[in-house]
Amino acid sequence: MIFNEKIECMGREELKNLQSERLKKLVAYIYDNNPVYRKKLDQHGIGPASVKSIDDIVNLPFTTKEDMRDNYPFKLFSRPVSEISEIHVSSGTTGNPTVVGYTKDDLDLWSEVVARAIACAGGVPGDMIQIAYGYGLFTGGLGLHYGALKLGCTILPMSSGQTKRQLKLMTDFQPRILCCTPSYTLYMLDEAREMGLDPRASSWKIGIFGAEPWSDTMRTEIEQAWNMLATDIYGLSEITGPGVSQECAHKCGMHICSDVFYPEVIDSVTGNAMPEGEYGELVFTTLTKQGIPLLRYRTRDIVSINYEQCVCGRTSPRMSKVRGRTDDMIIVRGINVFPSQIEHVLLGIEGVQPHYQLIVERSVGGLDDLEIQVEIEEPFFSDEIKVLENLKQKIAREMESVLGINAKIRFVEPKTIQRSEGKAKRVIDKRTL
Ligand code: DLL
């Protein structure tokens, strides 16, 4: 089923006209409503009259994660906070997190794109959908929720965790669709077997998996183990959360809702457009958002885009799986973690040296484990075990409150973490996806 056939199957010219109209309105809107952007546009010599068509987008300035941080919490909003209906927050690089605000219309837009996504994966009205992404400040749970509501599904709003309960309700209620991170699906597999369930006999027939990178090998593993279709969903809080793009049953790239989120692929060093079909940094302009519309937001995700029509009938451009990042962000259990955040925490604690390494592993069960190896100062290292234990717990608590995840802290002797003359290798990612 195609949720919005008129838009999703629109001819290229017509789509381009729609995008052009929307971009013109957007630039005027931002110019009139956001002083930070107005200043930036003025500095680039751009006013509302400078934009005649979507092709002029290349003349607009980029927006970066640093812009989000520097304008914390609300200075990039184009509406007063009193007109914002909902706020979500995701990790920033250091210090301040990234804050986004949705007006009522923005929430309608989010519902629309996620409804398109669920339908694109094969969902239809009346399907029961188990949402096992976290509900709360993370956009996964509520995003899927709004889309499922719009499509007319029966929602099981589980949030993440409580694996036994997830499996029990799946067995008792027989939902057809499962939404969670792909690694959680593998984790649930072990638990299901332990509970004596036959995963291939599960009621889940469609999976909507995303929020972290995963490979086609992992897809095959999930599909075979659970006997379901596993599709990829992509999104980021800054643009709207999940629903920016989604795979159809043909699994040949994620269909981008480009009528509202205009994509570009650029060379991350020069900022110039990459030739069509080549890999580069993905950039989005939110064409119709009101709360926090963004011009040419640099996602730091590396992808390529295919503009050919898909066999499913949709004309929307399709993005490849995310091949990597232009920064050092890692995703652990669906949570974005920047080494710089960890460094910030460590350096605020007495006795800790600025030498650390992050080891990420995928446990046999399928979940990610993060170990932070830290050098501590000589006098501390020779201290009694109790002192060391307290210090460890303090670091773990701080990490939990800043990152929102449990990390294992391991102290190593001074001067044992490899020093580097160039870029320090902070992350050792042992996961094979
Ligand atoms: O992860 C939104 C989301 C929720 C997407 C649920 C899909 C499902 P953030 O927490 O802001 O938002 O993280 C965004 O996660 O820039 C990518 O690096 C990564 N990411 C998201 N989806 C995928 C995916 C949500 N399907 C960041 N494949 C993005 C690879 C993904 N990476």
Q: Which two tokens stand for residue 94?
A: 């250091």
Coil, helix or strand for 169? Answer: helix
Q: What is the pLDDT of residues 368-408, one digit of tens each?
A: 999 999 988 887 777 688 888 999 999 999 999 888 888 99
pLDDT at 63 over 70: yes
Give the pLDDT confidence score for residue 423 in this predicted structure: 60
Answer whether 211 contacts ligand 1 (Cβ < 6 A).
yes
Answer whether 258 contacts ligand 1 (Cβ < 6 A).
no
Kindly give the distance from the C-alpha atom of residue 112 to the centroid of ligand 1, in angstroms, as a whole number: 18
Domains of the chain by start residue, with CATH:
1-326 (3.40.50.12780), 335-429 (3.30.300.30)
Give the pLDDT confidence score for residue 421 in this predicted structure: 64
Give the pLDDT confidence score for residue 354 in this predicted structure: 72
Kindly give the distance from the C-alpha atom of residue 326 to the centroid of ligand 1, in angstroms, as a whole number: 15
Q: What are the distances in angstroms from CA 123 to CA 13, 148, 233, 249, 251? A: 29, 9, 13, 10, 15
Yes or no: say if 298 and 271 are a contact pair by the CB < 8 Å rule: no
Higher-pLDDT residue of 329, 257? 257
Q: What is the pLDDT of residues 231-271, one digit of tens each?
A: 999 999 999 999 999 999 999 999 999 999 999 999 999 99
Answer whether 139 contacts ligand 1 (Cβ < 6 A).
yes
Helices (H), 65-211: 65-70, 104-121, 139-151, 163-173, 182-194
Q: Which residues on adjacent β-strands are paired with residue 399? A: none
Answer whether 240 contacts ligand 1 (Cβ < 6 A).
no
Instruction: Please classify residue 314 by burial: count the beta carbons closer than 10 Å to its beta carbon, then call 0-12 exposed, 13-18 middle and 19+ buried.
Output: buried
Answer whether 242 contacts ligand 1 (Cβ < 6 A).
yes
Where is average pLDDT lowest: 54-58, 92-96, 111-115, 192-196?
92-96
- Which of 138, 178, 181, 236 best tests ligand 1's pocket when mutated (most atoms within 8 Å of CB)? 236
**Model confidence band, residue 93 (pLDDT cutoffs 50, 70, 90):** low
pLDDT at 91 over 90: no
**Model confidence band, residue 420 (pLDDT cutoffs 50, 70, 90):** low
Answer whether 336 contacts ligand 1 (Cβ < 6 A).
yes
Q: What is the pLDDT of residues 120-145, one digit of tens each?
A: 999 999 999 999 999 999 999 999 99
In sequence order, the 6+-apart residues with CB closer than 8 A to the CB of 421 are none
Give the pLDDT confidence score for residue 386 in this predicted structure: 86
Give the pLDDT confidence score for residue 25 in this predicted structure: 98
pLDDT at 160 over 80: yes
Give the pLDDT confidence score for residue 230 in this predicted structure: 98
Report whether the peptide linkage leading into residue 73 is cis, meaning its omega lies within 30 degrees of zero. Answer: yes
